[in-house]
């Protein structure tokens, strides 16, 4: 992270005379962020285009307001204490944790908290070595790569799965030390399932206080998943026919109610859409001649494209 003055100076304090009493607080801050960060990376627009994730968006507005006030306080000669932005993301797969971490990196660069804003995504295998001392060296190397940006540790709870003698403990100890040594140059995000992350945080008394921001990523609702499916189709210039929309809804309900495994949310939707696109290609190529294939046929995903096992 940059110094307090550097971070504060990145944000333009935007106030004007618009009528704000009838607007929700989040809307007011969002509008001011758009004006303040309009020439930056576009991360704010990315965030606001995401389906759901109201808690995540609320946190971004909170941090922006916090940094804005720090700048105003600095202008009045008031003391600003150091602040940590390390986070814990809890939720099932496909709920947007990695996507949000990447957007946060860019937003924190836009707001002056980070110098580069890049994302380094790792898991246990990238951090934990095979002998004493190897893990600390690997962990330090990865931290060095992440300086100026965000270090995202997925399935972080796996670092304690081997007990006291496991080399994962060495990784945690090295990580905790780095949080102090590099707290102006690095934001660390730990991610994983809810219960497993609670157990992980309880495994080391130094962890909870060093990760003060905790965000839960709830499973998407059926309407939200359908919105995500429509968005994924539009990104690739496809659309869902009415019969396929109804079928996708039924498939999502069945998968969510199955309950045998953690539902993979948007990841499940993406796999479903990508498979349907491949089946669509087979259907069109085998059932039509070149002269019969028009633009609509190339774009429409039908229920039969989703029915193939």
Give residue-wise pLDDT tens across range 219-245.
999 999 999 999 999 999 999 999 999
Four-way CATH pick for 4-217: 3.40.50.300, 3.30.1330.10, 1.20.120.80, 3.90.1140.10: 3.40.50.300
% pLDDT > 90, the chain: 49
pLDDT in tens, 280-306: 999 999 999 988 999 999 999 999 999
Query: What's the pTM value of the predicted model, to 2 decimals?
Result: 0.83
Residue 289 burial (CB < 10 Å; 0-12/13-18/19+)? Answer: exposed
Residue 69 has pLDDT above 50, yes or no: yes
Fold of 222-307: Helicase, Ruva Protein; domain 3 (1.10.8)
Residue 271 has pLDDT above 90, yes or no: yes
Pick the range with the lowest mean pLDDT from 28-37, 113-122, 178-187. 28-37
> What are 2-5's contacts with CB under 8 Å, separation 24+?
2/112, 2/113, 2/114, 2/115, 2/184, 3/184, 4/70, 4/74, 4/80, 4/82, 5/74
Q: Where are the domains of the chain?
A: 4-217, 222-307
Which pLDDT score is estimated for 16?
58
Average pLDDT, the chain: 86
Residue 2 has pLDDT above 60, yes or no: no
Which pLDDT score is estimated for 82?
81
pLDDT in tens, 31-50: 887 777 777 778 888 888 89
The DSSP bridge pattern shows strands 213-217 and 119-122 to be unpaired
State how far the Cα of 216 lies from the Cα of 113, in Å rounded to an integer: 23
Q: Give the other-Cβ count within 10 Å of 125's Cβ.
A: 9
Domains 4-217 and 222-307 share a fold: no
Q: Which residue has the higher pLDDT, 17 or 161?
A: 161
DSSP string, 243-282: HHHHHHHHHHHHHHHH-SS---HHHHHHHHHHHHHHHHHH
Question: Could you tell me the pLDDT band of residue 260, with boundaries at 50, 70 and 90?
Answer: low
């Amino acid at each position: 992270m940059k110094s307090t003055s550097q971070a504060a100076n990145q944000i333009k304090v935007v106030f004007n005379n618009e009528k704000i009493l009838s607007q929700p607080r989040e809307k007011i801050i969002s509008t001011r962020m758009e004006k303040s960060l309009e020439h930056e990376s576009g991360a704010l627009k990315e965030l606001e285009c995401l389906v759901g994730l109201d808690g995540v968006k609320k946190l971004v507005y909170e941090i922006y307001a916090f940094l804005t006030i720090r700048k105003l306080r600095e202008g009045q000669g008031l003391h600003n204490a150091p602040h940590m932005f390390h986070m814990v993301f809890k939720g099932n797969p496909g709920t947007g944790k990695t996507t949000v971490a990447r957007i946060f990196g860019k937003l924190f660069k836009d707001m002056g908290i980070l110098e580069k804003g890049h994302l380094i995504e790792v898991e246990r295998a990238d951090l934990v070595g095979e002998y004493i001392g190897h893990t600390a060296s690997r962990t330090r190397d990865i931290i060095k790569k992440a300086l100026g940006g965000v270090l995202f540790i997925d399935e972080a709870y796996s670092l304690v799965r081997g007990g006291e003698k496991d080399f994962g403990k060495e990784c945690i100890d090295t990580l905790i030390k780095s949080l102090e040594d590099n707290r102006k140059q690095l934001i660390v995000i730990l991610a994983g399932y809810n219960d497993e992350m609670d157990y992980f945080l309880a495994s080391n008394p130094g962890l909870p206080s060093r990760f003060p921001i905790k965000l839960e990523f709830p499973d998407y609702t059926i309407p939200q998943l359908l919105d995500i499916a429509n968005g994924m189709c539009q990104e690739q210039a496809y659309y869902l026919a009415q019969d396929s929309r109804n079928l996708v809804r039924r498939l999502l309900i069945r998968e969510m109610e199955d309950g045998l495994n953690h539902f993979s949310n948007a990841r499940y939707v993406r796999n479903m859409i990508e498979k349907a696109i491949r089946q669509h290609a087979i259907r069109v190529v085998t059932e039509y001649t070149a002269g019969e294939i028009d633009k609509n046929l190339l774009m429409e995903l039908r229920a039969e494209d989703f029915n193939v096992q």
